[in-house]
Amino acid sequence: MPKKHPRADSLKIRANLSDSFDNRIISQFGLIAHGRGEAFDYILGETTTKISLKTIHVATAQLLFSNSVISVNGNSAALCAKNIVKLANLTNSKIEINLFHKSKTRANKISQLLKKHGAKDVYGLNAKYLTKIPGLKSNRKYIDKRGIFLSDVIFVPLEDGDRTEFLKKMNKTVITVDLNPLSRTSVMSDITIVDNLVRVLPEMIKQSRNMSDLSESDLQKIIKKFNNKKQLNLILKYMSKRLIDLST
């Protein structure tokens, strides 16, 4: 694929996801979800906005401040396994696998991929330690007693709305990455980064390093100033204006 191809990055990601499907890292539904997200990325201009940069700053502060877990599914592992491990190390976050279309084979393959990139402990695999999110019916109800169950904050990129709703009922703070600002996950989360995960994680890694010396008090100040509804309104206005500008 020519490096100067206008869709080079997107095509590489698609090829990676196709290979990950063949290798049973992601499900066929994950391919559909990616295509839906990519449509919203076109509207964003396939760039990280200033609005999202502010949200990333707050999300990073929240991870650094709290007892946090990064929840991983097939798509996030296929796209960003290396950066997930980096971010977990920098923010002292645990990593837990949580799948909607669950199988031991997929979970083990995702675990192997994460460990290939340096993850030491991967939670969510050992049935001995699994418990259920009260009220949730899907396979994503299973969480690790040592991970998500004990955490204050869960970073759930590429999440489904049902689990976000029930995690909130457990008094968990939910951070998500979702290219669709209208999704239930986006609306229900405490911190919603409307951006592409492949751009978000490198920025979070960068900001984690820059913020590593901040005191708990400084981190709290960053978190308390944030209003997720306001940020979602701003990103919707940005996307609406961009569509109008493109149509004139």
Q: How confident is the model at residue 101 (pLDDT cuts 50, 70, 90)?
A: confident
* Partner residues linked to 71 by β-bridges: 96
At 203-234, the pLDDT tens digits run 999 999 999 999 999 999 999 999 999 999 99
Q: Please check whether residue 153 is in contact with residue 69, taking contact to mean a CB–CB distance below 8 angstroms.
A: yes
Q: What is the pLDDT of residue 213?
A: 95
The helix (H) or strand (E) run that includes residue 60 is helix 50-65
Where is average pLDDT lowest: 22-26, 46-50, 92-96? 22-26
pLDDT of residue 2: 66
Q: Tell me the domains of the chain and their CATH numbers.
A: 50-247 (3.40.50.12640)
Return the residue matching tokens 């949730």.
136
Q: How much is the pLDDT for 158?
A: 81
Average pLDDT, whole number, for the chain? 92
Indicate if the pLDDT at residue 35 is higher than 80: no
What distance lies between CA 133 and its chain's CA centroid? Answer: 19
> Running DSSP on this structure, what letter comes out for residue 123?
B
Other CB atoms within 10 Å distance of the CB of residue 35: 11
- Per-residue confidence band for 145, with pLDDT thresholds at 50, 70 and 90: very high
Question: Which residue, 203, 188, 206, 225, is CA-closest to 58?
Answer: 225
Helices marked H in 92-147: 104-116
pLDDT of residue 148: 97
pLDDT of residue 103: 85
pLDDT at 1: 62
Indicate if the pLDDT at residue 176 is higher than 70: yes
Q: Which helix (H) or strand (E) holds 59?
A: helix 50-65
Q: Which of 22-26, 102-106, 136-140, 178-182 is most confident?
A: 178-182
Q: How many CB atoms lie within 10 A of CB 16?
A: 15
Q: Are strands 130-132 and 142-144 parallel, antiparallel or unpaired?
A: antiparallel
Whole-angstrom distance, CA of residue 109 vs CA of residue 24? 7
- Determine the pLDDT at residue 6: 66
Contact 203, 165 (CB under 8 A): no
Q: Rounded to an integer, what distance in angstroms lies between the CA atom of residue 152 and that of residue 185?
A: 18
